[in-house]
């Protein structure tokens, strides 16, 4: 099996030898989830970073009363995981779940390190992915402080229109930090 | 002037040639702030990433009514900036301010790129700094969802005791998302 084209795209114009392509291909495990499968339980240590080929993963946390709060979504052609747990090897606060079924490539911490050592341009590919995630995380925090519900919905619709079409209203409302009635009202205005 | 020892420490065990040390030293501009100087205004584009040698920088945003909300603090021996603006070259939502006077090393976007090209281990140094910041950002979001005010204060006291001693109560309270009366009550319990 050749290196998945969407994963290859992450390396941009970098020249990869056949040997390097083979190494990358062998480090990423292909996995198709069950419907709504939990990929990481709360309290477990995240062993993998996920690259989503098809589908979507939700990273969420729960409070003392069991209320769920969606922290972020890992969309197609993006890397992601319960990041603090993955890097620090600590039990995860967050739960990682597939929304529906997803097709994934999974990279273990050890294999991530191996790629850093063996493939110089992997540092840059991975760093840019982290930068994007970190920016998304900051923009999300800022949106909660500077935008109202309608503006947050507008922003999501502009930046991720497919998300709004594909995901259940419950998840979208939770992601935006609004209740479902408010979301229905915002949707009906369009 | 030689490479600042605290900046050198960021490179860990990596061997740096004298030429590389010289290049790094020349890319980082030394700057001492005025007291409480604003280093980046809202709406301006962040041109620099800061490395704090002495002091502390506050990154905060304001809502429509001018209320300030501290998004994060850049402590000594850490890199930081208004990150989305710096990477995307877009006007910043956030304001960067020195708390008191600070001694900084400033790296422009162009010089950051130059270091990526010239000094292979810089990718790894920088990537690890971004990972730490991203983790801190996630842990902060999670703490607002999973911990109460007292637990957030405990956590800050455990992880950054110097912060609590050094910074004005107003900033600490804002950082923890609690009011000053609650903070005084928590402090007096110790």
Rounded Cα–Cα distance for residues B130 and A138 (Å): 12
Residue A33: count other Cβ atoms within 10 Å of its Cβ: 19
**Chain B closest CA to A178's CA: distance in Å?**
15
Residues from chain B that touch A138, judged by Cβ atoms under 8 A, are 71, 83-84, 137
B150 touching A (Cβ < 8 Å): no
Q: What is the pLDDT of residue B1?
A: 62
**Chain A closest CA to B165's CA: distance in Å?**
27
Of all residues in chain A, the one with the smallest CA distance to B72 is A138
A68: which residues sit within 8 A by CB, 6+ positions away?
A60, A61, A62, A174
Q: Is the pLDDT at B189 greater than 70, yes or no?
A: yes
Q: Is the pLDDT at A31 greater than 90, yes or no?
A: yes
Rounded Cα–Cα distance for residues B111 and A163 (Å): 37
Q: What is the pLDDT of residues A66-109, one digit of tens each?
A: 888 888 899 899 999 999 999 999 999 999 999 999 999 999 99
Distances (CA, A) of B158 to A115, A133, B152, B155: 35, 27, 10, 5
- Which range among A32-41, A46-55, A128-137 shows the weakest confidence by mean pLDDT? A128-137
**Chain A closest CA to B148's CA: distance in Å?**
10
A69 touching B (Cβ < 8 Å): yes
A120 touching B (Cβ < 8 Å): yes
Nearest to B145 among A69, A137, A142 (CB): A69
The interface pTM score, or ipTM, of the predicted complex is 0.87
A89 touching B (Cβ < 8 Å): no
B139 touching A (Cβ < 8 Å): yes
Contact B146 A94 (CB under 8 A): no
Helix (H) or strand (E) holding B95: strand B95-98
Residues from chain B that touch A134, judged by Cβ atoms under 8 A, are 83, 130, 133-134, 137
Nearest 5°: phi and psi at B34? -75, 170
Rounded Cα–Cα distance for residues B5 and B24 (Å): 12
Greater confidence (A73 vs A146) lies with: A73
In the stretch 97-116 of chain B, residues with CB closer than 8 A to chain A read 116
**pLDDT-derived band of residue B190, with 50, 70 and 90 as boundaries?**
low
Give chain A's mean pLDDT.
91
Q: What is the pLDDT of residues B41-72, one digit of tens each?
A: 999 999 999 999 999 999 999 887 888 888 88
How do strand B38-40 and strand B79-80 relate by DSSP bridges? Answer: unpaired
**pLDDT-derived band of residue A1, with 50, 70 and 90 as boundaries?**
low
**pLDDT-derived band of residue B40, with 50, 70 and 90 as boundaries?**
very high
Nearest to B130 among A130, A139, A145 (CB): A130
Q: Is the pLDDT at A65 greater than 70, yes or no?
A: yes
Q: Is the pLDDT at A166 greater than 90, yes or no?
A: no
């Amino acid at each position: 099996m050749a290196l998945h084209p969407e994963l290859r795209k992450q390396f941009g114009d970098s020249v990869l030898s056949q040997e390097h392509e083979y190494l990358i291909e062998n480090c990423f495990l292909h996995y198709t989830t069950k419907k709504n499968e939990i990929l990481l339980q709360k309290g477990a240590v995240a062993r993998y970073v996920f690259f989503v080929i098809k589908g979507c993963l939700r990273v969420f946390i729960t409070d003392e009363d069991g209320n769920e709060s969606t922290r972020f979504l890992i969309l197609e052609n993006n890397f992601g995981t319960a990041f603090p747990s993955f890097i620090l090897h600590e039990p995860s606060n967050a739960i990682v779940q597939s929304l529906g079924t997803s097709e994934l490539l999974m990279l273990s911490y050890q294999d991530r390190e191996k790629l850093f050592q063996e493939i110089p341009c992997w540092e840059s590919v991975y760093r840019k992915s982290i930068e994007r995630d970190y920016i998304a995380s900051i923009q999300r925090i800022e949106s909660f402080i500077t935008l109202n519900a309608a503006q947050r919905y507008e922003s999501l619709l502009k930046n991720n229109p497919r998300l709004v079409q594909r995901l259940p209203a419950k998840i979208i409302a939770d992601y935006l930090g609004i209740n479902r009635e408010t979301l229905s009202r915002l949707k009906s205005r369009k």
